[in-house]
Amino acid sequence: MPFLLLDCDGVLADTERDGHRVAFNRAFREMGLPLEWDDPTYARLLGIGGGKERLSSVLSPDVMAARGLEDTPGERARLVAEVHALKSELFRGIVADGLVPARPGIRRLVIEATASGWTVAVASTSAPESVRAVMETVLGAGLASGIEVFAGDVVARKKPDPAIYKHAVQQLGASPGDCVVVEDSSQGLAAARGASLPVVVTESAYTHGEDFAGASLVLSDLGEPDAPAVVLADPCDLMVGCPAVDVAVLEDVISRRRG
């Protein structure tokens, strides 16, 4: 049985710029924290895997003092948890309002894969509730309900560490040789490759121009039959004659990796 493993943010929807970043800034304002992440700042912070970890990296003594807290490990951890919980709630509201639309081709590919007997799962560093919210909006509740999610703190180390993908493969009872991953970032690519998984990359708003060496394919998006993907790197000519990534392309990724 083949397995399709999807990242969430940047793969299901381009959630970082207009979803997570906006939700973080709203949470900062509501909690009276002297923080605001503009596009360049957030793009830089995405080099740190995980929202809680990004937040921890900017908690200066001044930020702690704004909440009347001592700058101790325990108080920092408590503030990170409070801010992240509020941010996640705000993010789900943004998603529910339809402000983070699906990326091209993702719903079509998931439908095709499940109809062809593939097991589809999502492996993400985002909170499970946030991932589910994106899935239900992008894929629809019915389709999303059949997809297993591995997300958040289910592993201690975040991408680019391969832990989340190794965990997903183990829990699914899969073999790396039967899997294909869709990612959007060099961090995600490194995580999947570290778990010996082949990767199709669809660039997102914050990852354009990153180094995707080692990917089986690099594309603008998954494409649609009437709106072809832009092929950015295709070392094995997987997309020749194909306007969009479909199950046949995924099967070719697996077979060429085995070959």
Q: From CA 169, how far away is CA 4, in angstroms rounded?
A: 10
Cβ(76)–Cβ(55) below 8 Å:
no
Three-state DSSP class for residue 250: helix
Instruction: For residue 90, report the phi and psi dihedrals to the nearest 5 degrees.
Output: -65, -40
Q: From CA 227, how far away is CA 78, in angstroms rounded?
A: 47
Three-state DSSP class for residue 102: strand
Rounded to the nearest 5 percent, the helix, strand and coil shares of the chain are 50, 15, 40
DSSP structure class, residue 20:
I
Q: From CA 144, how far away is CA 131, in angstroms rounded?
A: 10
As annotated, the active-site residues are: 7, 9
Put the strands of the sheet holding 119-124 in their side by side order. Answer: 148-151, 119-124, 3-6, 179-183, 199-202, 217-219, 231-233
